[in-house]
Structure 1
Amino acid sequence: MDHLWTPWRYAYVTGADNSRRKLGVPEALAGWPGDKHCVFCNMIAAVDYAIEHGMPREQAEEAVYILERGKSCFMVLNAFPYNSGHLMVVPYRHEQSLAGLTLEEADELLRMTRQAERVLQAVYQPHGQNLGLNLGKAAGAGVAEHLHLHAVPRWIADNNYMSVLAETRVLPEMLDESWRRLRAALALDTLEQ
């Protein structure tokens, strides 16, 4: 019998996660003093705080799985992924609507999404990808108040009985490994930024 371990999902599926990770800030950045009441805002504030207090940038970004930082948006792994490699492109500015973004923010959101598509294809060779926004709770947004665009690699027949009947996802790769592989691919991505 095979055993499939996905320990990072336990707190999420049981609703028992009261840790700093729920705030978007892991224990590695425990010195961060505040809560901006948004997982994405917390993530950036904690990383910036850690860097200002001497933590190397790459170490601070790895702690929250930030893959890339642009001028107005950043790319980050989803801590509760649908598939290995599931990432998001997020504006720094707390905004709930695509229409509310500036043209500069919207342009960078799309440029980083194109970059995400390229690196996901290079690293995972998926049969397809889901790229999209869930605007508002009714549309399925987990964090409705802060816009984020999902990029999810997909494979033919990647939903099996575990997902369909048992409402459980089985992921073959740990988040740390996904972060290392995607971060390395981003460093090699030389197409238009």
Structure 2
Amino acid sequence: MDVLWAPWRSKYVSEASKNKSTSCLFCDVISKNEDKQNWILYRGKFSYIILNAFPYNPGHLMIVPYKHVSSIEGLDDKEILEINHLLKASIKAIRRVYSPDGFNVGINIGRVAGAGIDQHVHVHLVPRWNGDANFMPVIGGVKVLPEMLEDTYNKLKPEIEKILSEEALDL
């Protein structure tokens, strides 16, 4: 069996495990009018797109419903439809900006399933490239990200907005 080591995530996981706050990061950031400071790329009717502040790769983003529920079955059909529409637009935008070789798309439901914020369901979209997992995390204990979050934001936001203006969803 192969083992995938991700030591750069240990700080995030340990801090998330300690954080028993009653507030919700996803609810808090959307209530503010500070989209750029909070890495919010797009606000839809039922959900929004936000960059992951602890990305695995450049372009790692999340689609988050406004509704505060811990699992996808707490969402109605319109909310799920919009989340998938934003996912499709995000994949298109990332392909245009970064030309990845593939993607990981995932929903971690519950802390034991890997959800760092388990009280508010969200969808991860992680672009992947051949060779993006190299020796640095294993040997050096670090993950090398070749781009600042601000640069990722500035590249993806206009592309996502362009795609969603061309492909509006009638909800």
TM-score normalised by structure 1 residue count = 0.74
Alignment of 1:47-58 (within 5 A): 47=33
**Per the alignment, in what secondary structure is the counterpart of residue 90 of structure 1?**
strand
Please give the per-residue CA displacement for 1:55-114, whole angstroms capped at 9, x wherever unaligned.
xxxxx2101010000000000000110001100000011111111101111111111111
Mapped contact 2:47–2:79 kept (Cα < 8 A) = yes
> What are the ranges of 5 or more consecutive residues in structure 2 without an aligned counterpart?
1-8
1:143 aligns with 2:117: yes
Please give the per-residue CA displacement for 1:3-25, whole angstroms capped at 9, x wherever unaligned.
xxxxxx9x85885xxxxxx9xxx
Cα distance in 2 for partners of 1:91, 1:13 equals 22
1:157 to partner: Cα distance: 1.2
Within the candidate set 134, 137, 162, 1:188 is matched to 162
**Per the alignment, in what secondary structure is the counterpart of residue 36 of structure 2?**
helix
Asked which structure has the greater RCO (Cα within 8 Å, sep 6+), the reply is 2
Q: How many residues align?
A: 154
Letter in 2 for 1:41: C
Within the candidate set 98, 116, 119, 2:93 is matched to 119
CA RMSD of aligned residues (A): 2.1
Letter in 1 for 2:167: L
1:94 corresponding residue in structure 2: 68
Mapped contact 2:26–2:120 kept (Cα < 8 A) = yes
TM-score normalised by structure 2 residue count = 0.83
Residues 182 and 36 of structure 1: is their aligned pair in 2 closer, same or farther, counting only changes over 3 Å? farther
Residues 145 and 166 of structure 1: is their aligned pair in 2 closer, same or farther, counting only changes over 3 Å? farther
Cα distance in 1 for partners of 2:87, 2:141 equals 28
Cα distance in 2 for partners of 1:70, 1:82 equals 25
> What are the ranges of 5 or more consecutive residues in structure 1 without an aligned counterpart?
1-8, 16-21, 23-34, 48-59
Within the candidate set 104, 118, 126, 1:152 is matched to 126
Cα distance in 2 for partners of 1:61, 1:36 equals 22
Q: Percent identity?
A: 40
**Per the alignment, in what secondary structure is the counterpart of residue 61 of structure 1?**
coil
1:108 corresponding residue in structure 2: 82
Please give the per-residue CA displacement for 1:154-186, whole angstroms capped at 9, x wherever unaligned.
001100112234442110010001001001211
Mapped contact 2:42–2:161 kept (Cα < 8 A) = no
Mapped contact 2:13–2:116 kept (Cα < 8 A) = no
2:138 corresponding residue in structure 1: 164
**Per the alignment, in what secondary structure is the counterpart of residue 63 of structure 1?**
coil
Please give the per-residue CA displacement for 1:119-150, whole angstroms capped at 9, x wherever unaligned.
11111100001111011111111101100100
2:31 corresponding residue in structure 1: 45
Cα distance in 2 for partners of 1:167, 1:136 equals 27
Letter in 2 for 1:191: E
